[in-house]
Structure 1
Amino acid sequence: MAEVEWTEIKEPQDIKLVVADMDATLLDADGQIPAGFWPMLDRLNQKGVTFVPASGRQYQTLQQMFSRSVRPMSFIAENGNIVSLDGNVIETHTVSRDLVKQVIDICDKAAETGEYNIGLVVCGLNAAYIQRTDEEFIAEVSKYYAKVEPVNNLREVLDYVDEKFLKLAIFDFEPAEPMAKDLLAGIEQPYEYVLSGKHWADIMDSRVSKGDGVVVLQKALGVGVDETAVFGDYLNDVPMFEHARYSFAVANAHPQVRAAAAYIAPANTEEGVIRVVDRIVR
């Protein structure tokens, strides 16, 4: 798809749903919510437009980050495995305990050999479970998971009968793509791995994506594709694009994401999401 700048949209549009990825899309260079976001959210609320952060982050983390909102917000969390509307979870997707065990075994073996400097997060509905507890790893996990529970051995969580497992997330201190191709090639359907960032690989149900979260919200809100705008920067954001007439890759996005989007927005460091929304929402 030929790249088209956001400024080619000359008139405000009848947008009812705006969905934006977080890291390197909505958030600034320091990973913070830009100051201009809150006035924009107020304007959208007044117009009856729903704004939805979409992220690989934990649901509890998103709730914490956006706790300043005067109204309950809607979220697409854990890369589409949790969808909430106005503060209520309306959709969840899980993975099997057999998959959890398989990935724990893979990561333990890699750690024993020293082949990769990685850490595993078992993402449950109630908490995120980790075994590795060094400061460097904890610092990375804490960026995305507000409710973290360290355990002596991750296999313990397999006995948590009341827990539902949403996905597994592997952090690599080096770029994650080579590690994922090497260690996770044996993951079988209906599961797959997706690169959710430069250093993160998620193992989850292959039938679930952020795009599915967009569809769930569209149905719940009675909103169509022509009334939806989405923003992203990385490969796990692309599934959202086919469900929105107005799909935007921020200027700093991965080349494949830029190619898939209908329009190019300013970079996250230039408050691209806010500038575009203020221009196109009627």
Structure 2
Amino acid sequence: MPATPESLPVDQGPPAGPADIRLVVSDMDGTLLDDDKRIPDGLWPMLAELRRRGVLFSPASGRQYATLARQFAEVADGMVFIAENGTYVVRDGVELSSDPLHGRVVAALARAVRELAADGVDVGAVVCGKRSAYVERTDEAFLTEVRRYYVENRIVDDLTAVDDEVLKVALFDFGSAERTTAPALQAFTATHQVVVSGEHWVDVMNATANKGAALRGLQRELGITPAQTMVFGDYLNDLEMLDAADWSFAVAGAHPEVVRRARHLAPSNNDNGVLRTIARVLGI
């Protein structure tokens, strides 16, 4: 008898499959990647097996599309990339959906970050466009963090004058993003998403934009149901995505709110939790 989500207590691993899964979606940092930001070696044969079975695998990340496309370059044909926390969805180089910010909001956020920095917060902004990411801050420590997630990046004199469709504004706080930078952006929360996406990152997007909205749009496009969807996440920017799948997993070590929201638990990112769970549920 196939496994069903209802048969999986949140505090136990899933039973052996197979289950009728058509779409597997995984967050990257803290979920699929280990703590050293490495893709597990077992992912490549797993992707080949999923493709053989007609199961689509989709990375869903706060990373930019160019970064994801480079990471999965050898297997990118037909793959759907949910980039920039759901604000940009691309398949085979063709945009499926996007949700760009208004220029006035981008400028206001750039000014807010400048004020935070002037008040002594060690923070910098990344304006995330479709063509590139843009930064004003030029110190190597900040640029090193930016390059981890944005392979296409440019230093500009003025972030309020960026000429690109801006998908989100990401803020990197060398301290605690949840305790310092996110509360300082309270003025934007009434009209926009202000999401803590990692220990040091806060993303600001349109109120309509999140990984879950992107996933639901993809499910409609492909005719795939939540019952046929498996999702993995670890941080607050994954919450809405977890809601869009019956097979929703928080990896061990995930943010407490993610653990509460997910239906089930998977082993940690350092224990190949995503791959082990896929293999078990699908009977691979």
CA offsets per residue over residues 190-225 of structure 1, 9 Å max, x none? 313110111000111122110011111111111011
Structure 1 residues 38 and 99, CA, compared in 2 at 3 Å: closer, same or farther? same
8 Å contact 2:76–2:92 — kept in the other structure?
no
Pairing 1:220–2:227 present: no
Output the CA distance in 2 between the equivalents of 1:81 and 1:281: 29
- Measured after TM superposition, the shift of residue 35 of structure 1 is 0.2
- Partner of residue 279, structure 2: 278
Answering whether residue 204 of structure 2 is matched by residue 197 of structure 1, we say no
Q: Is the CA contact 2:182–2:196 (under 8 Å) kept in the aligned structure 1?
A: no
Displaced runs of 4+ in structure 1, greater than 3 A? none
Out of 28, 35, 44, the position equivalent to 1:29 is: 35
Question: Does structure 2 retain, via aligned residues, the 8 Å contact 1:180–1:193?
Answer: no
* Residue 176 (str. 1) matches residue 177 (str. 2): yes
Structure 2 letter corresponding to 1:220: E
Question: Residue 74 of structure 2 aligns with which residue?
Answer: 68
Note if contact 2:10-2:265 (Cα within 8 Å) is conserved in structure 1.
Answer: yes
Alignment partner of 1:97 out of 103, 111, 114: 103
2:250 corresponds to which residue?
249
CA distance in 1, matches of 2:170, 2:119: 20
User: Structure 2 vs 1, CA of residues 86 and 16 (structure 1 numbering), >3 Å: closer, same or farther?
Assistant: farther
Deviations 1:215-241 (A, max 9, x none): 111111110111000000111111112
How big is the alpha-carbon RMSD for the aligned residues of Structure 1 and Structure 2?
Answer: 1.6
What are the Cα deviations for residues 42-78 of structure 1, in whole angstroms up to 9, with x where unaligned? Answer: 0000011000000000011100111121624211100
- CA distance in structure 1 between the aligned counterparts of 2:56 and 2:76, rounded to whole angstroms: 13
Return the alpha-carbon distance in structure 2 between the equivalents of residues 113 and 236 of structure 1.
27
Q: Confirm or deny that 1:117 pairs with 2:122.
A: yes
CA distance in 1: counterparts of 2:255 and 2:119, whole angstroms = 32
Looking at structure 2, the residues matched to 263 and 113 of structure 1 have their Cα atoms a distance apart, in angstroms, of: 42
- Indicate if the aligned counterparts of 2:63 and 2:85 stay in contact, CA closer than 8 A: yes
Alignment partner, residue 132 of structure 1: 137
SS at match of 2:144: helix
SS at match of 2:160: helix
2:12 matched residue in structure 1: 5
Contact map agreement 1:73 1:87 (CA 8 A) in 2: no
Instruction: Give the aligned residue type for 1:21.
Output: D
For the 8 Å contact 2:79–2:92, the answer to whether it is kept is yes
On the 8 A contact 2:251/2:273 being kept in 1, the answer is: yes
Gaps of 5+ in 1: none
Cα offset, 1:180, TM superposition: 2.8
CA distance in 2, matches of 1:188, 1:67: 36
- Contact 1:29 / 1:268 at 8 angstroms: preserved in 2? yes
Q: Greater shift after overlay, 175-184 or 237-246? A: 175-184
The whole-number CA distance in structure 2 between the counterparts of 1:140 and 1:128 is 13
The one of 140, 143, 151 equivalent to 2:156 is 151
Seq. identity, %? 42
- What SS is found at the alignment partner of 1:211? helix
Distance (Å, rounded) in 2 between the aligned partners of 1:191 and 1:181:
12
In the TM superposition, residue 186 of structure 1 has moved relative to its aligned partner by 0.9
Q: What is the CA-CA distance between 1:148 and the residue it aligns to?
A: 0.1
The match for 1:230 is 231
Cα distance in 2, alignment partners of residues 258 and 35 from structure 1: 26
Report the counterpart of residue 45 of structure 1 in structure 2: 51
Q: Output the CA distance in 2 between the equivalents of 1:88 and 1:136.
A: 34
**SS of the residue aligned with 2:90?**
strand
